[in-house]
Structure 1
Amino acid sequence: MHPLVNVGVQAARAAGHIILRHAHQTDRLTVTSKGKSDFVSEVDRTAEAEITRIIRRYYPDHAILGEEGGASGDSDTVWIIDPLDGTTNFLHGIPHYAVSIGVTYRGKLAHAVIYEPNTNDLYTATAGGGAQCNSRRIRVSRTDSLDRALIGTGAPFRDEERIQRYLPQLGGVLNETAGIRRAGSAALDLAWVANGRLDGFWENDLKPWDIAAGVLLVREAGGTVTELYGRNDVMDTGNVLACNLPIHTALERAIHSASRPD
């Protein structure tokens, strides 16, 4: 493993230990709301602080962008951290959430770590070096027909305008595929695309910490990740379409079959 990936793995496992330690006592946690249906717990903050502490021990000059702590530092190398992707699942006792750590160098995705504490599955990738799960090489699925494809998605919940933009997309994909899953963790959805469990995934308006590691994993596993509306870079807009190459055009067409953005 690349040295930065080794540090990312150490940090992700440490955060995962904190998360699991509190998983059966969520009723005792302090939980606040960042917005409609957007929660943060003391576990999110504690886990991010531990990730940051470990990174700083080895790379004190690197910059960090965390979901809870915001941006700090000025460096060509930036660590992008989601300490607990799937907080709502965690708070409801649903064992589907992950620690996500991406690293960019001069604005390009360079390294990725996604750790699923409940299964102990560890996903890693380095640009140009392929993607792994538990140290074994992974590849996207070989499904070549959309009507046999299982697709992941994330539903918006913060405002009516985004919901109305999303619902026609959902209908279009439902009509064309074998099924849709809305599991509640974009990081894990992308990791599952990389690992071939899902054939594709799309979601609108995600944040860099939601997708940095997952986007690199999919690409290094032989998949494609594009901006949903063909605009700027997906890391800038957060509108993600990830899948294997054979179904990309058909999935994109299904998503946009009922409506297009203004």
Structure 2
Amino acid sequence: MSSPSPALATRLEAARAVVHDAAQMAMAMRPPPGGPQASQKSAQDWLTETDGAVEAFIANRMKALFPDDGFQGEEGGVARTGSLRWVVDPIDGTSNYARGRCRWCISLGLLDGDEPVAGVIDAPALGEVYTALRGYGAFLNGKRIQASPVKDPASSMIEMGWSNRVPKPVFMEKMDAIMAMGTMPRSGGCGALALADVASGRLDGYIEIVINLWDVAAALPLLAEAGARVSPFLQEGGLTGPATIMAANPHIAQALSKAVSIPLA
């Protein structure tokens, strides 16, 4: 295997350090356990002071390090354009974060045009950092990861994300199809970590009917490097707006795709 592009390898290491510092900031600002300490953008869609602070911190640091790179954030939109573009979700799993729970993360992905090439997902309350560089592997705390070997849907675990933008009948139809396969359904409230769980083999699949680029940009290289199968999220509108994503281990991907009527790439 040839060495990775020095430019991309340098960016990944820089991103890991920046996200680490941002994660420590988020930990220091994390609310104690209890009722949500946040404002609501819409039903079950939360925003905390930390979201804005972390995004601004990462945006400023990445601009100083790589001024020619583009930047897009969940809260601030597209701040800069460039052939290389950073995409950040400052707190993915805000509903968990706002209640002092542990299942949340900071997600920073790098796109080269429309190709995801690198990603960092830092879940500081869990003590876990995922990294990936396209063509050179996916890692959890420095150890290589791969998708689950589970082949029997009746032995599998599938997570499905919930969104208030999805009509209840559509959500229930997909959930019924999952359960009809004999799988164990889950919902954890953090899309980036769920996709990382598919990459690491902790989950056999993840589905979300409406999800945004900032939620998945860092996870897409992880999934590719870990051998997971993924629906064509970017090709079906994910670069410019919300779209559907399905990721699964390669052994059950086809059966899951057929059951929930979501095509694979």
SS at match of 2:75: coil
**How many residue pairs are counted as aligned between the two chains?**
255
**Please, which of 168, 177, 181 is the counterpart of residue 176 of structure 1?**
181
**Please, which of 50, 57, 62 is the counterpart of residue 50 of structure 1?**
57
Please give the root-mean-square deviation of Cα atoms over the aligned residues, in Å: 2.3
Structure 1 residue 27: deviation in Å? 7.8
Q: Quick one: distance in 2 between partners of 1:121 and 1:84? A: 15
Q: Superposed, which structure 2 residues align to 1:190-209 within 5 Å?
A: 190-209=195-214
In the alignment, structure 1 residue 82 sits paired with structure 2 residue 89: yes
Residue in structure 2 matched with residue 154 of structure 1 by the alignment: 161
Residue in structure 1 matched with residue 221 of structure 2 by the alignment: 216
Structure 1 residue 56: deviation in Å? 1.2
Change (3 A) 1:73 1:12: same
Contact 1:30 1:42 (C-alpha < 8 Å) held by counterparts: no
Change (3 A) 1:246 1:25: closer
Contact 2:37 2:99 (C-alpha < 8 Å) held by counterparts: no
Contact 1:63 1:79 (C-alpha < 8 Å) held by counterparts: yes
Contact 2:33 2:101 (C-alpha < 8 Å) held by counterparts: no
TM-score, length-scaled by structure 1:
0.90
Contact 1:33 1:39 (C-alpha < 8 Å) held by counterparts: yes
SS at match of 2:251: helix
Q: Percent identity?
A: 27
Structure 1 residue 162: deviation in Å? 2.6
Contact 1:130 1:221 (C-alpha < 8 Å) held by counterparts: yes
Q: Deviations over 1:54-77 (max 9, x none)?
A: 111210121111001110112101
SS at match of 1:128: coil
Structure 1 residue 177: deviation in Å? 3.0
SS at match of 1:209: helix
Q: Superposed, which structure 2 residues align to 1:1-262 within 5 Å?
A: 2-25=9-32, 31-158=38-165, 162-227=167-232, 232=236, 235=239, 237-256=242-261
Q: Quick one: distance in 1 between partners of 2:24 and 2:154? A: 40
Gaps of 5+ in 2: 1-7
Q: Quick one: distance in 2 between partners of 1:6 and 1:232? A: 30
Q: Deviations over 1:136-180 (max 9, x none)?
A: 11000000111111011101223xx53221111101101213301
TM-score, length-scaled by structure 2:
0.89
Contact 1:151 1:177 (C-alpha < 8 Å) held by counterparts: no
What is the one-letter code of the residue matched to 2:197?
W
Structure 1 residue 84: deviation in Å? 0.4
Q: Which moved more, 1:217-226 or 1:169-178?
A: 169-178
Residue in structure 1 matched with residue 3 of structure 2 by the alignment: none
What is the one-letter code of the residue matched to 2:126?
T
Structure 1 residue 199: deviation in Å? 0.7
What is the one-letter code of the residue matched to 1:143?
V
Moved over 4 A (4+): 25-30, 233-237
What is the one-letter code of the residue matched to 1:188?
L
SS at match of 1:246: coil
Q: Deviations over 1:82-129 (max 9, x none)?
A: 010000001112210000000001221111110111122110111111
Contact 1:194 1:217 (C-alpha < 8 Å) held by counterparts: yes
What is the one-letter code of the residue matched to 2:152?
S
Gaps of 5+ in 1: none
Structure 1 residue 25: deviation in Å? 4.4
